[in-house]
Amino acid sequence: MIVAAEDTPINRNAVLYSNLGSPELSAPDEYLIDPATSAGTLVRVDRDGEIIAQGDKAGYCFQITSGCVRAVKLIEGGRRQVGEFLFARDIFGWEALSEHEFAVEAVTPVVLRRFRLSTIEEFAANDRLFARKLQRYIVAKVQTGRAHLVLLGRKTAAERISSFLLEMLGRPSGCTTSALDLPMSRADIADYLGLTIETVCRELRNLHRRGVIVIRRGRIVISDHRALRSDGSVWLH
C-alpha cells in the first residue's frame, strides 16, 4: 500500500543540503536533498509494495528517508534480476528517460520523498552546488553499477557472497562494522547475485564453517574481516 501526502508546492529556496562544507558527495554518505525540506511529496509504502512499475512513464524520482527498496527487472519465463538494493539517502528514478526499465519495490516499509524530474532539473540548472553534488552522485552510482557487472561476469559464487556482505557492511541498513541485519530475503540476494537460493544458502554455510561469519537467527556476524575481504575485495576496486 502506498500512502502519499498532497503535493507540496516546490520552492527552490526550500531545498537544503546536508554537510555543505564537504566538497565531495560519496554516495550514499549524505543526503542529496535534506529530508527536512518542504519540497516534494512525502510517501509511505508498505513492505513489498510497488513504487514504480516496469514500463511506467518517467515523471518522478524518489529519495529514501528510511527503509530499503529493490530495483527489479522482469525477464522472459517469469524470471527476474534484482539490479540493486537502495537504502536511506539513495535516490532512484532519476536515471529514466521516457520510461522506467526497472520496477522498484519496497523490501521493508519505507518512507520516501517524491520529486518531479523537472524539479530536479530546475534545481540543477539554478544551483551550482546541487548540480555538482548530483554529478558526483551519478558518477558514484555508475561506478557501483560497473563493479556489479564485474561481479556477475567474473566472480565465483563464493566471491559473490563475500562481496555482497562487504557491500552491505557499507550501507545504512541497520548494520554495524561486525553485524548485518539484512532486510532482504535469500531469494532477493540470489536474484541480485545471479545465483540460486540453494547456492546462496550453501555458500553462507561454507563461510560459517570456515569461521568467517556466524549466522544467528537471521543476523550475520562477521568473525574474520580479513578472510572476508580476501574472498571479495576484488569487487570493491
Any idea what DSSP says for residue 233?
G
Any idea what DSSP says for residue 56?
P
- The torsion of the CA quartet 84, 30, 51, 101, rounded to 10 degrees, works out to -50
Our measurement of the distance from residue 112's CA atom to the centroid of its chain's CA atoms, rounded to an integer in Å, reads: 13
Q: For residue 54, which of 89, 83, 85 has the smallest C-alpha distance?
A: 83
Q: What are the two backbone dihedrals, phi and then psi, of residue 190, each rounded to the nearest 5 degrees?
A: -60, -45
| Amino acid 36: pLDDT | 64
| Amino acid 20: pLDDT | 29
**Dist CA 204 CA 162 (whole Å):** 9
At what angle are helices 128-154 and 157-169 packed, to 10 degrees?
160
| Amino acid 72: pLDDT | 96
Residue indicated by cell numbers 543540503: 17
| Amino acid 170: pLDDT | 76
For 74, the 3-state DSSP assignment is strand
Q: For residue 120, which of 137, 134, 101, 103 has the smallest C-alpha distance?
A: 134
| Amino acid 232: pLDDT | 63
* Domains of the chain and any CATH numbers: 2-150 (2.60.120.10), 155-236 (1.10.10.10)
Give 76-111 pLDDT, tens digit per residue.
887 899 999 999 989 999 887 889 999 999 999 999
Taking every pair of C-alpha atoms in the chain, what is the biggest distance, in angstroms? 56
| Amino acid 160: pLDDT | 95
Q: What is the pLDDT along the chain (237 residues), one digit of tens a residue?
A: 666 654 444 344 444 343 323 333 344 456 787 766 667 899 999 999 999 999 999 999 999 999 999 999 998 887 899 999 999 989 999 887 889 999 999 999 999 999 998 888 888 899 999 899 888 888 988 898 898 988 888 899 999 999 999 989 877 655 556 788 899 999 999 999 999 999 999 999 999 999 999 998 778 999 998 999 887 654 444
| Amino acid 230: pLDDT | 86
| Amino acid 35: pLDDT | 66
Element holding 213 (H helix, E strand): strand 213-216
Residue indicated by cell numbers 527536512: 36
Ramachandran sector of residue 116 (left: φ over 0; alpha: ψ -120 to 50; beta: rest) = beta
| Amino acid 233: pLDDT | 57
**Dist CA 92 CA 71 (whole Å):** 9
